[in-house]
A and B are shown apart, each in its own frame.
Chain A
């Protein structure tokens, strides 16, 4: 058993950025002499070779699948075969919606060590130790995998740094066994109904969360956002309740504030799914009545106070 196998992710012809973050994680884990191989599953995997050619990758393994998009049976079968053939001791996949669809089934079937939403992985006394969150991300939990020859870790996004430099790894192909798929992917549907604001392009965002209490308070913050020149965003509960269109939702299943440089979060507690969409932002200011709110853990500046009072006062200054 040796080597680290990374399972890259692609969707609609684009390589997902987490694929390179996984390489970054692999580099951190590899022992001397160990190789890092990245597998890419697609109906035309060759087009992803170039974006995957980064330093740290020793081998790119292309796996041709019947469907261009994710299919749980195809992936479980192909990745399972890859693991059986190549015997890596660590397999890194993304902690993503696609992985949710097959990783646990695969690990269970093959008896792999298994942990998800891992944000730290290291070897302690030769043993692989992964760290993940517990009790709603309020504690850290270190897990290990006694007696497991191989371990599958699903890695949290936006944690590990992707390698910057390009390289020229060798490219091989792997023939996945034929598989009878029991589900059939149809179309993709974009959910940007509502207004055509592009949260991913906004540089200055003011987000409101559950702390605003009721729908009648939304206009006040919309007005404040306009006054200070920010794009109004929201966390999931606000969008689910229909107080703002889904296109304004920032978070894991909403939009990522990719271009944002200044992010003001008012009445947002900082659930992990929301943080996933914004914790990378350079300057985060959190305003919340609860001094223990998770958002303060990622914010640069914190205001512990009444969001309405602060909003009122801020409005006066613009």
Chain B
């Protein structure tokens, strides 16, 4: 039984970042990379299923990206993934989440897992689309924003809960194999000590090209995307009126605001 976990190495912005000359992205230098927060949870969920199972379950982490992504894949291996696969080709540049999904779907066809997990969204671009787009391409049953999951390896169905707006949960029974996008808080991701990450270097990361997963360059990049970035810019920030002074002065002004409000609503 195999669970494929699609992970993304996201980029956060460093201090005083700058927009690239072509105006369509941030300067590379100011990007700090790390494993997507949601993927900690989806990977942990897969490893939990593996550890609770009486039969062998293989957890495979897959990601699309250049060599630096290996660092995040190694973290996944340290946290309990058995294998890792990375797909990259220069043509992938400029892909939106849908083009990435095409690559992940091709990898999924190659791996033939019983379950495919992805995070609900990534902390950088928050498309919240990739996982479900993969499901569409595979033609698999799917559910998004899963905050609780009950599944026995190899079973025909799984029972899950979708986390809806406003603190409501919706329980659903879904046929398997299925694609599930996993929400924060579904479990407590384990800590991967640096030693275990270093030791995970012994587990290999398979690097594949587009051809290896049966895709041509027309399926990815801008050609394979459903949107295109025209312009990226730093927005005008809403301006809050800053209350100056030391803590006592600030608190005094705040107390005034509170009393005004209470007076108005009295």
Instruction: Give me the interface of A with B, judged by CB distance under 8 Å.
Output: 11, 69-70, 72-73, 76, 95-97, 100-109, 111-117, 129-130, 133-146, 148, 182-192, 203-204, 228-229, 236, 240, 246-247, 249, 252-256, 261-262, 264, 272, 283, 285-287, 296-306, 309-310, 312-314, 316-318
Contact = CB atoms under 8 A, between A and B. Distances in A.
A272 B19 CA distance: 22
A145 B240 contact: no
A299 B35 CA distance: 31
A314 B172 contact: no
A106 B136 contact: yes
Nearest to A146: B228
Given A100-B120, A109-B136, A261-B265, 13 more contacts: A97-B145, A101-B132, A104-B129, A116-B129, A139-B232, A140-B234, A141-B232, A185-B172, A186-B171, A253-B165, A302-B242, A310-B251, A313-B250
Chain B's interface size range is 35 or more
Interface in B145-175: 145, 159, 161-175
B166 A313 contact: no
Interface in B2-57: 11-13, 17, 19, 26
Interface stretch (B59-67, B79-87, B252-260): B252-260
Nearest to A279: B238
B239 to A, nearest CB: 8
B33 to A, nearest CB: 12
Main SS at interface, chain B: mixed
Contacts of B183: 253
15 contacts: A101-B132, A102-B142, A104-B97, A134-B124, A134-B232, A136-B12, A143-B229, A183-B174, A190-B168, A228-B255, A247-B167, A253-B164, A255-B167, A306-B247, A313-B251
Contacts of A116: 126-129
B164 A144 contact: no
Given A100-B120, A138-B13, A240-B184, A310 B144 contact: no
A228 B123 contact: no
A302 B125 contact: no
B170 A135 contact: no
B72 interface: no
B262 interface: yes
